[in-house]
Amino acid sequence: MWGRTGAGGNLQGVIDLRALREDPERLRASQRARGEDPSIADRLLELDASRRSALTRFETLRAEQKSVGKSVSKASPEEREELLTKAKSLAAEVKEAEAEAGKLGEELDTVLVRVPNLVEEGAPEGGVDDFVVMETVGEPREFDFAPRDHLELGEMLGAIDMERGAKVSGARFYFLTGVGAQLELALLNMAMNQAIEEGFTPMIPPVLVKPETMEGTGFLGEHSDEIYHLPEDDLYLVGTSEVALAGYHAGEILPADALPNRYIGWSSCFRREAGSYGKDTRGIIRVHQFNKVEMFVYTHPDQAHEEHERLLAWERRMLDKLGLPYRVVDIAGGDLGTSAARKYDCEAWVPTQETYRELTSTSNCTEFQARRLNVRYRDEDGKPRFAATLNGTLATTRWIVAILENHQREDGSVVVPEALRPYLGKEVLEPIQAAKDKNKGKKK
RNA sequence: GGUGGAGUCGCCUAGUGGCCGAUGGCGCCCGCCUCGAAAGCGGGUAAGGGGCAACCCUUCGAGGGUUCAAAUCCCUCCUCCACCGCCA
């Protein structure tokens, strides 16, 4: 779709087969770091070898067919008959050889698309719980009253309406109402502006994407059951604007001076949350639809690591401005997504849960997505090379949880962080109803 | 949704079955000329794959088909443009 090769049938990229031939141990080591099967490297090498030999056979036959074909038109009537017979049998052979090469290419592809990105050196080993806390910023606030959770506060403020969300759309849907809607707009706008000041190009992308776009970003592998699909139209609802922004330059060769190419995307995000029944069922921590401002960068592979650090710094700046206590964690190999080589999360303190919850996540996808989507840049020597892509969260609906809970006062009002005030036009969010007042007359 | 037209190498463009991986122009790069520049002249200028190499193969929106042979003929799809219908 994005300019992949024809007769051999195989993808151009996904992982670099030439690099694999030279150093298969690199992939084996990465697979071990992820807790996945290292022997896939050897399977790939085998498939690659047989595909290449089939391809060579096809190409040789094809070259012969072409030259015989050309001689047909120049031949004398007597020779013609004989040449045509030869050409016909060659055509059949070519067809057969092409099919064989194509079949082997497809076999290789099906294994290839399953191979996750190579883990960056330095990433912690292990699984979900083996992250490393890099830094803790701020102190969890000491309350001299019993803090209310974000939903109770949201209801008092007239900011969140879960019940009507469920009535209209089902579990894990909600309305942001009144100041809740305003707070979200203010927060996301503040994030957009911060990024724009840093030179990002603001983008409002489509939230429905084609299968190849979703596939290219690496979301259709293990986690395909997380993604909404519209079968009538064969379109996917994005779980993050990263998907559309990664697809934005698919099949293109970017001029070298265009890098780093930074975008800041604003979109609604949709997640089925299929594997999390019963988890985070209260409030807007884990919902099917939310809004997110996402940084997305195309850059030189050599500069990807530094860019990753910058994305993390920009995320932290947002959290700092909002006065939220948080910690930065380095995600372990086994918990990286398919496309990430390295991932840092920022987790904010949620007082009523007495724990840190993920607010941001920034991934260095190196050339993984660019290979699948065929995004290249032109090197100094004029050669096209695969770009690196990175992404990072700058604000989401979930941040409202942390803002409300951390900045609440005993009467249920919430102090608006100073940096947010210009966007919200309020210093304090005042309750419009007493706590625990469930007689709102809204049930059927 | 309906009808008609179109998609060719950065841009524009030639090309109706073999002499076409593909014409010409613009742009860009190199050289000549010039004190320097412009103009002019000459040359170069898609990507991917295989091979130590010579070289070979693939790709003319995508996929399939006809044929010894397809940019060229047929089918399906996608995109764009125009008009009609409908509508935020």
Give the model's pLDDT for residue A436: 55
Q: Which of residues 20-79 of A touch strand B (CB under 7 A)?
A: 52, 55-56, 58-60, 62-63, 65-66, 68-70, 72-73
| Distance of C1' in B2 from CA in A230, Å | 25
Q: Which of residues 366-405 of A touch strand B (CB under 7 A)?
A: 376, 382-384
Is the separation of the CB atoms in A259 and A219 below 8 Å? no
Residues of chain A with pLDDT under 70: 1-14, 77, 222, 434-444
| Distance of C1' in B66 from CA in A203, Å | 47
Give the model's pLDDT for residue A442: 43
Of residues A50, A358, A385, A413, which has the active-site annotation? A358
Is the separation of the CB atoms in A220 and A227 below 8 Å? yes
Give the model's pLDDT for residue A4: 40
Measured in whole angstroms, how far is the alpha carbon of residue A362 from the centre of its chain?
A: 9
The predicted model scores a pTM of 0.89
**Crossing angle (nearest 10°) for helices A40-74 and A24-34:** 130
Q: Indicate the average pLDDT of chain A.
A: 88
- β-sheet bridge partners, residue A283: none
3-state DSSP call for residue A79? helix
Query: What is the ipTM, given to two decimal places?
Result: 0.81
Give the model's pLDDT for residue A424: 96
Is the separation of the CB atoms in A217 and A246 below 8 Å? yes
Nearest partner of A346 among A382, A300, A298, A395, judged by Cα? A395
Q: How far apart are the first and last CA of chain A?
A: 51
The pair of three-digit structure tokens given for residue A398, joined into one six-digit string? 């979930």
Burial label, A323 (beta-carbon count in 10 A; 0-12, 13-18, 19+): middle
Residue A50: CB atoms within 10 A of its CB come to 15
Burial label, A133 (beta-carbon count in 10 A; 0-12, 13-18, 19+): exposed
Nearest partner of A230 among A214, A249, A252, judged by Cα? A214
DSSP one-letter string for A381-406:
TS-EEEPEEEEEEEEETTHHHHHHHH
CA A438 vs CA A155, A168, A172, A250, A441: distances in Å: 10, 19, 20, 51, 8
In b/e form, how buried is each residue of A406-438, taking b as 16+ CB within 10 angstroms? bbbeeebbbbbbeebeebbebeebebeeeeeee
What is the C-alpha separation between A227 and A235, in angstroms, rounded? 11
Give the model's pLDDT for residue A159: 95
Tokens 């884990």, residue?
A286
Give the model's pLDDT for residue A273: 87
What is the C-alpha separation between A11 and A1, in angstroms, rounded? 10
Q: For chain A, give the longest Cα–Cα distance.
A: 105
Chain segment A112-125, per-residue pLDDT in tens: 888 899 999 999 99
A208 touches strand B (CB under 7 A): no
Give the model's pLDDT for residue A132: 95
